[in-house]
Amino acid sequence: MTAPQAIERIDAYPTRRIAGFPVRAGRPLPFGATPVPGGVNFSVYSNNATGMTLVLYRAGEPEPMAELPFPDAFVIGGVYAMTVYDLDAEGIEYGYRAQGPFDPERGHRFDPTVVVADPYARLMSDARTGPRRSRVALDDFDWEDDRPLRLPHEDLVIYELHARGFTRDPSSGVAAPGTYAGLVEKIPYLRELGVNCVELLPVFEFDENDNPRSHPVTGEPLANYWGYNTVGYFAPKASYASTGRYGMQADEFKNLVKQLHRAGIEVILDVVFNHTAEGNEYGPTISFKGLDNATYYMLTPDGHYYNFSGTGNTLNCNNPVVRGFVLDCLRYWASEFHIDGFRFDLAAILGRGPDGALLANPPLLETLAYDPVLRDCKLIAEAWDAAGLYQVGSFPNYCRWSEWNGRYRDTVRRFVKGDTGVTGDLATRMVGSPDMYAQRGTSATVNFVLCHDGFTLNDLVSYNGKHNEVNGEDNRDGDNNNQSWNCGVEGPTDDPEVLALRARQMRNVFMILLASQGVPMILAGDEVGRTQQGNNNAYCHDGPLTWFDWRLVERNADLLRFVRRAIAFRQAHPVLRRGPASEVSWHGVRAWTADWSEHCRLIAGMFGTGADDCVYVAANSHWEGHLLELPEPPQGTAWHLFADTAAPPPFDAREPGEEPVLPDQSHVEVGPRAVVVLVAHSQAEQRDNGKEE
């Protein structure tokens, strides 16, 4: 039996020549540059342009090799589409000149002297090797049997990292430092740590050199290190790829995702749809501004840019065209790169209408929540913006969205440094913040204490104030409300008592975070005590200040071991990840009698009631220790000691399943500024394991 042959288009031939190239009317969809039999189909949208020209370059050359105006017959609605034949797809770069009015008061900023980038460009050239231009991507990566992992939300331990900074330091020892390939070499470290999800700071193409400031001491140019000024939404960052100069960044990034999945680790991307790299009316024209400014940006009635992002412009996300652009982008990353979820920067902006007003039912957020392609993707909102809109606990969620829980961060910081009046709030945060997320469950809250924006954990316990002088803004930038405490000395010290207290405070933060219901997120490097020397806004430093120093893995091995065991303990006990808050009982110095008074700095919770899984967590931020009366463990079990952050290493945490039985089953001592964690094991099991003391 002969297999049927695929039917080829009968109109796949040129109909005319433009600038020496054979062409024909193209297909309007999909947008972008798409290889087709014999050529490349180019499609770009502009509702307000009066004409459009395709500009072709030989890769790396400064001047165009051809400019092809779109004939009127090649325009359908607001879409300019043309198929160009006899092109070497891998050997060309391209852009567009858009003709139209320059009338800023009406929102139009067309400038045909500028060649703008394709918003749908799947690749962009590496700016280190020449001008940044759009390129054509080929779809030839072999995923084998890779699929998104679909891990339950509550089971995630998220690890936020910078794709370059994680391995850029020479101490990383990888073959290609600062690249996707280098990150692949560190997957065994991630597995051993126990995290099962990495959240990558922006990896969409951006310009790391667009910072106008200089280092106030060295005079060297500062960088845009974090990457929140996106240039190409469909293009993986070329300079993060060891093969970027050869145009292989998409394949290298796909291999990173594939290898992480093989290790059981999901991938979440930090995406930025609230603004672009084009800034306000004084910023550069890169893409949207030159193609259709009035469509893509929120504009005031007199044509200026609304600035809800704090960066100069605000993307007009609830315009139907822009909404489609965002949806296309996320579908592309989910389907073509097997991404498991997205974290949306300043996501509250995505709920604003074209005039900036808050929408009751934001169509973009609803569309993303119900999109069939994105059904299994995690959607995580940073539920605030730079204009004062704060929606933690009230973000339009459609029973799909999770939120970075800023209230969890603030409460844990205040409790650990010893503030009064937060014990009750800490209890609420530790059971998944049901005051905010009762209907959605513990998967709705992403609990974190530190993230890229702010102090590292080491600095949180080493500095009372920010030290951002090297950012070139006279220490005016960065948050002033850090809720930090230096343990008695500002910055570095050799005082052994101060160092011991700081180490204990870091263990306290980790233990509370990993014993809280919800989804914990860890900032990369905190598990080994990484410092940024008190800088809480290090967005502009691409150097040792922000890179992961791998020598700390050995130097702070005790802290790393503690974190590994705490993560493993969490994974061994589902009661710490999910379950109704009603199954958690609260205690104090006396069992079954929690002290919710203003002055109290002690709280203890018993998670679970059954013999199969029951954990007792006591957190004390008082500078004195306390003897706590214990509730009886479930029948047939006895209390065993997993962690005591006041104990010297390695007795601060045990291997899960190997905890020694507590000698006194009725009381436990919790030290000054310490956390104690007990677990109920069956007595029969204990005798079998020969662990009774």
pLDDT in tens, 46-70: 999 999 999 999 998 999 999 999 9
Strands (E), 272-377: 341-344
**Nearest-angstrom CA–CA distance, 635 and 519:** 30
pLDDT of residue 692: 43
Same CATH fold assignment for domains 16-135 and 582-682 = yes
Query: Tell me, what DSSP letter sits at residue 355?
Result: T
**Nearest-angstrom CA–CA distance, 150 and 148:** 6
Summarised one tens digit per residue, pLDDT across range 364-379 is: 999 999 999 999 999 9
Summarised one tens digit per residue, pLDDT across range 153-198 is: 999 999 999 999 999 999 999 999 999 999 999 999 999 999 999 9
Read off the amino acid at residue 306: Y
- Radius of gyration of the chain measured on its C-alpha atoms: 28
Residue 356 pLDDT greater than 70, yes or no: yes
Summarised one tens digit per residue, pLDDT across range 89-111 is: 999 999 999 999 999 999 999 99
Residue 690 pLDDT greater than 50, yes or no: no
- Looking only at the bridges linking them, the beta strands covering 519-523 and 626-629 are unpaired
Strands (E), 175-246: 197-200, 204-206, 230-236
Summarised one tens digit per residue, pLDDT across range 635-665 is: 999 999 999 999 999 999 999 999 999 999 9
- Active-site residue 382, yes or no? yes
- Which CATH architecture is the domain 16-135 placed in? Sandwich (2.60)
Strand partners, 669: 627
Catalytic residue among 118, 382, 527, 644: 382
**Nearest-angstrom CA–CA distance, 260 and 181:** 11
**Nearest-angstrom CA–CA distance, 47 and 74:** 15
Catalytic residue among 270, 345, 385, 549: 345
Q: If you average pLDDT over residues 101-122, what whole number do you get?
A: 97
Q: If you average pLDDT over residues 319-331, what whole number do you get?
A: 97
Residue 238 pLDDT greater than 90, yes or no: yes
Q: Where are the domains of the chain?
A: 16-135, 582-682
- Active-site residue 88, yes or no? no
Q: What topology is assigned to 582-682 in CATH?
A: Immunoglobulin-like (2.60.40)
Q: Which of 31-35, 422-426, 477-481, 609-613 has the lowest mean pLDDT?
A: 609-613
Res. 131 pLDDT band, cuts 50 70 90: confident
pLDDT of residue 246: 87
Mean pLDDT of all residues belonging to the chain: 94
Q: What is the pTM of this model?
A: 0.96
pLDDT of residue 127: 74
Residue 1 pLDDT greater than 90, yes or no: no
Residue 347 pLDDT greater than 60, yes or no: yes
Summarised one tens digit per residue, pLDDT across range 577-636 is: 987 877 899 999 999 999 999 999 999 999 998 878 999 999 999 999 999 999 999 999
Residue 83 pLDDT greater than 90, yes or no: yes
**Nearest-angstrom CA–CA distance, 141 and 135:** 17
Calculate what percentage of the chain has a pLDDT beyond 70. 97
Calculate what percentage of the chain has a pLDDT beyond 90. 91
Structure tokens at 550: 């791998």
Res. 477 pLDDT band, cuts 50 70 90: very high
Res. 9 pLDDT band, cuts 50 70 90: low
